[in-house]
A and B are shown apart, each in its own frame.
Chain A
Amino acid sequence: MNSPTLQTTFAGIECLNPFWLASAPPSNCGEQVMRAFDAGWGGAVWKTIGEPIVNVSSRYSSVDWNGQRMMGLNNIELISDRPIETNLREIAEVKRRYPKHVVIASLMVESKREAWHAMVRRAEDAGADGLELNFGCPHGMSERGMGSAVGQVPEYCERITGWVKEQARTPVIVKLTPNIGDIRLPARAAKRGGADALSAINTINSITGIDLDTLEPRPNVGGKSSHGGYCGPAVKPIALNMVQQVNADFVDGAPLPMSGIGGIATWQDAAEFILLGAGTVQVCTAAMHYGYRIVEDMGDGLLAWMRSKGYASLDDFRGLSLPKVTEWKHLDLNFRVVAEIHADKCIGCQLCYTACWDGAHQCIHLDRASGGMDVRPAGTDPRTTHHGANPQGKPTPAEVFAASVKTISVTPIPKLDGLQASTATPLERIPRVDEDECVGCNLCSLVCPVPECISMERRETGLPPESWEQRVAKGKVAEEVAVTGNPNL
Chain B
Amino acid sequence: MSEATGFYAKAPRNAEVAARFVELHPPFVAAAAVAEAHRCLNCFDAPCMGACPTHIDVPRFIKKIATGNLEGSARTILEANILGASCARACPVEVLCEGACVLHREGKRPIEIGRLQRFAMDALDSMQDAGAALPFVPGEDTGRKVALVGAGPASLACAAELRRRGVRAVVFDARPLPGGLNTYGVAEYKLPLLESLREIDRLCALGVEFVLETTVDAVKLAELEREYDAVFLGVGLGAIRKLGLAAEEHESVTNALDFIAGYKSGAIATVAETVAVVGAGNTAIDAAIAAVRLGAREVTMVYRRGPEQMSAFAFEYEHARLEGVRFLWHTPAERAFELGCGLVVLAVGQGTHTEFVAPMRLEMEDGRIVVERATGRTSHAKVYAGGDCVNGGREVVDAVADGKRAGVAMAQALGVGR
Q: Chain B residues near A350: list those with CB within 8 A.
A: 43-45
- CB contact under 8 A between A411 and B53, given known A350-B43, A350-B44: yes
**Do B44 and A349 have beta carbons less than 8 Å apart?**
yes
Q: Chain B residues near A449: list those with CB within 8 A.
A: 41, 106
**Do A66 and B102 have beta carbons less than 8 Å apart?**
no
Indicate with 1 or 0, residue by residue over B250-287, a CB within 8 angstroms of chain A CB atoms. 00000000000000000000000000000000000000
Interface residues of B in 29-47 (CB under 8 A from A): 34-35, 37-39, 41-47
Q: Chain A residues near B311: list those with CB within 8 A.
A: 413-415
C-alpha spacing A424/B104, complex, angstroms: 10
Q: Chain A residues near B104: list those with CB within 8 A.
A: 423
Interface residues of A in 399-432 (CB under 8 A from B): 400-401, 404-405, 407-416, 421, 423-425, 429
Closest A residue to B34 by CB, please name it. Answer: A67
Q: Chain B residues near A354: list those with CB within 8 A.
A: 44
Question: How far apart are B44's CB and chain A's nearest CB, in angstroms?
Answer: 4
User: Chain A binding site: helix, strand, loop or mixed by DSSP?
Assistant: loop
Say whether B103 faces chain A, with CB atoms less than 8 Å apart: yes
Q: Chain B residues near A46: list those with CB within 8 A.
A: none
Closest B residue to A353 by CB, please name it. Answer: B44
Interface centre among A408, A410, A429, A450 (most CB of B within 10 A): A410
C-alpha spacing A424/B43, complex, angstroms: 17
**Do B44 and A409 have beta carbons less than 8 Å apart?**
no
Q: Which of A348, A349, A353, A409 lies in contact with B52, CB distance below 8 A?
A: A409
- CB contact under 8 A between A413 and B394, given known A67-B38, A351-B42, A450-B106: yes
C-alpha spacing A414/B281, complex, angstroms: 12
Q: Which of A411, A415, A423 lies in contact with B95, CB distance below 8 A?
A: A411
In the complex, the 5 A-B pairs of residues with the closest C-beta atoms, listed nearest first? A67-B38, A350-B44, A354-B44, A347-B105, A347-B102
Question: How far apart are A430's CB and chain B's nearest CB, in angstroms?
Answer: 11
Say whether B398 faces chain A, with CB atoms less than 8 Å apart: yes
Say whether A301 faces chain B, with CB atoms less than 8 Å apart: no
C-alpha spacing A103/B374, complex, angstroms: 76
Say whether A233 faces chain B, with CB atoms less than 8 Å apart: no
Q: Chain B residues near A413: list those with CB within 8 A.
A: 311, 394
Interface residues of A in 217-252 (CB under 8 A from B): none
Q: How many residues of B contact A (CB 8 A)?
A: 41
**Do B95 and A351 have beta carbons less than 8 Å apart?**
no
C-alpha spacing A423/B91, complex, angstroms: 21
Q: Chain A residues near B392: list those with CB within 8 A.
A: 416
Closest A residue to B36 by CB, please name it. Answer: A67
C-alpha spacing A415/B397, complex, angstroms: 18
Question: How far apart are B373's CB and chain A's nearest CB, in angstroms?
Answer: 6
Q: Which of A66, A353, A401 lies in contact with B38, CB distance below 8 A?
A: A66
Closest A residue to B94 by CB, please name it. Answer: A421
Q: Chain B residues near A423: list those with CB within 8 A.
A: 104-105
Q: Which of A66, A353, A425 lies in contact with B105, CB distance below 8 A?
A: A425
Q: Chain A residues near B309: list those with CB within 8 A.
A: 415
Interface centre among A66, A354, A401, A411 (most CB of B within 10 A): A411
**Do B391 and A410 have beta carbons less than 8 Å apart?**
yes
Interface residues of B in 183-238 (CB under 8 A from A): none
**Do B53 and A410 have beta carbons less than 8 Å apart?**
yes
Q: Chain A residues near B34: list those with CB within 8 A.
A: 67
Question: How far apart are A209's CB and chain B's nearest CB, in angstroms?
Answer: 14
Indicate with 1 or 0, residue by residue over B41-78, a CB within 8 angstroms of chain A CB atoms. 11111110111110100000000001000000000000
Interface residues of B in 366-418 (CB under 8 A from A): 373-374, 391-392, 394-395, 397-398, 401, 405
